[in-house]
């Protein structure tokens, strides 16, 4: 009998439709996962984690798998190219505990990943993907999934061979980024091909790619028939998107078309501040936890200095488009503590508030 995603990951049956947070290197740590979970993501994925880093007991690698106790179900997202080392890494992750599943990356196009034969380099060899999945399946009892793409380029569609290899190897579900490696993150996803994947699959299919609005989400569900969707870049500093997608998907009168000129909704400034502060404090909590668990270099920056640097990738996205954000960007050197960050944030929000009062 075909297993559904609710049973697979032990998700509440009432929480439909299914909208997940995609794995993103440098972003989807425990802090971001907690925030997105609080705003409607039902399943989240860790950052990409190297199998060899885990086997070498690298603190820089294991800390990527740190989770908070109050997160929604989390899947450990691994990358590598060797069946034996990936199987052993998966076994150690399962032994560590706390994860709802293990996911294999077979789609990342970043050269740092592909030069070792991992990520999207695996797309060239569905047979190897099958061997990897089979080895990991023998090593773990947790749900085992794979995230991949349609193929290398439009003239090289390999997804159907990958699907069969993954199914034969024992994968429980597959996530398909409905673009080719050659597209990167640009261009429209190919929902026609994604629908064919869904038709042929004997396991649940999760759709990914180009989801910016409820209109995009509804279109992917309707035109491809996938079992769930996964949101990536549009969720960065935008946890509200999960609430918006899920409410939009069940709306009686959904939007007829996506208008790219509208951008993100104009959010309440107090709400932006509340969520930004919660995310900032969660990042500090994670830093403190990692430093207590893993050996810290003698020359490591203080937590405050580390936080002021690491949070920038989220900070400017939270404040994107607001009056004063460009001024804040030009004064990065002064943001060396949480207090300094909040002074800058409040200044930016006040400028935007004044602007809105003048031009509501």
CATH number, domain with residue 119 = 3.20.20.70
Has residue 258 been placed in a domain? no
Has residue 262 been placed in a domain? no
Domain shared by 91 and 182, yes or no: yes
Average pLDDT over the chain reads 91
pLDDT of residue 250: 85
Domain that holds residue 137: 5-249
pLDDT of residue 172: 97
pLDDT of residue 262: 59
Domain shared by 144 and 182, yes or no: yes
pLDDT of residue 1: 40
Domain shared by 289 and 196, yes or no: no
The question of whether 108 is a catalytic residue gets the answer: yes
Has residue 259 been placed in a domain? no
Determine which of 126-135, 173-182, 292-301 has the lowest per-residue pLDDT on average.
292-301
Domain shared by 274 and 199, yes or no: no
pLDDT of residue 336: 85
Domain shared by 216 and 291, yes or no: no
Domain shared by 21 and 159, yes or no: yes
Domain shared by 237 and 133, yes or no: yes
* Catalytic option among 108, 234, 313, 348: 108
DSSP 228: E
Express each pLDDT in 210-228 by its tens digit.
999 999 999 999 999 999 9
Domain shared by 278 and 331, yes or no: yes
Domain shared by 307 and 234, yes or no: no
Specify whether the CB–CB gap between 215 and 234 falls below 8 A.
Answer: no
Has residue 256 been placed in a domain? no
Global confidence as pTM: 0.94
Domain shared by 241 and 280, yes or no: no
Among the residues of 201-330, which ranges form H helices?
A: 214-224, 240-249, 269-293, 303-310, 312-318, 325-329
Domain shared by 225 and 349, yes or no: no
Specify whether the CB–CB gap between 21 and 36 falls below 8 A.
Answer: yes
Has residue 255 been placed in a domain? no
State the burial class of residue 312 (Cβ atoms within 10 Å of its Cβ: 0-12, 13-18, 19+).
Answer: middle
Has residue 50 been placed in a domain? yes
Among the residues of 39-182, which ranges form H helices?
A: 51-55, 59-62, 83-96, 111-114, 126-139, 159-169
Domain shared by 290 and 238, yes or no: no
Domain count for the chain, please give it. 2
Specify whether the CB–CB gap between 318 and 272 falls below 8 A.
Answer: yes
Has residue 308 been placed in a domain? yes
The mean pLDDT of 294-299, rounded to a whole number, is: 67
Express each pLDDT in 86-113 by its tens digit.
999 999 999 999 999 999 999 999 999 9
The pLDDT of residue 327 is above 50:
yes
Has residue 264 been placed in a domain? no
The pLDDT of residue 3 is above 70:
no
The mean pLDDT of 301-306, rounded to a whole number, is: 85
């Amino acid at each position: 009998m075909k297993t559904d995603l609710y049973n697979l990951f032990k998700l509440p049956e009432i929480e439909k439709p299914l909208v997940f947070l995609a794995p993103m290197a440098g972003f989807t740590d425990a802090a971001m996962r907690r925030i997105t979970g609080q705003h409607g993501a039902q399943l989240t994925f860790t950052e990409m984690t190297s199998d060899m880093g885990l086997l070498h007991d690298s603190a820089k690698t294991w800390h990527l798998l740190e989770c908070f106790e109050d997160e929604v179900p989390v899947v450990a997202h691994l990358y590598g190219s060797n069946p034996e080392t990936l199987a052993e890494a998966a076994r150690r992750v399962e032994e560590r505990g706390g994860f709802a599943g293990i996911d294999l990356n077979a789609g990342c196009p970043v050269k740092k990943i592909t030069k070792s034969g991992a990520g999207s380099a695996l797309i060239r060899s569905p047979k190897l993907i099958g061997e990897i999945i089979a080895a990991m399946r023998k090593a773990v009892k947790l749900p085992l999934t794979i995230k991949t793409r349609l193929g290398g380029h439009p003239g090289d569609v390999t997804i159907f061979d990958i699907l069969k290899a993954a199914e034969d190897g024992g994968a429980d579900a597959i996530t398909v980024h409905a673009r080719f490696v050659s597209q990167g993150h640009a261009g429209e996803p190919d929902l026609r091909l994604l629908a064919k994947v869904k038709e042929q699959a004997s396991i649940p299919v999760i759709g990914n790619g180009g989801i910016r609005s409820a209109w995009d989400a509804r279109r992917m569900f309707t035109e491809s028939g996938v079992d769930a969707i996964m949101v990536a870049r549009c969720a960065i500093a935008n946890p509200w998107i999960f609430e918006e997608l899920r409410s939009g998907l069940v709306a009686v009168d959904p939007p007829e078309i996506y208008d790219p000129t509208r951008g993100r909704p104009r959010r309440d400034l107090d709400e932006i501040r509340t969520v930004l502060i919660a995310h900032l404090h969660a990042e500090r909590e994670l830093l403190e936890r990692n430093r207590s668990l893993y050996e810290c270099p003698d020359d490591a920056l203080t937590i405050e200095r580390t936080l002021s640097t690491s949070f920038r990738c989220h900070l400017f996205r939270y404040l994107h488009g607001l009056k004063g954000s460009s001024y804040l960007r030009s004064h990065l050197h002064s943001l060396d503590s949480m207090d300094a960050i909040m002074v800058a944030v409040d200044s930016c929000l006040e400028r935007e508030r004044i602007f809105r009062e003048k031009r509501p």
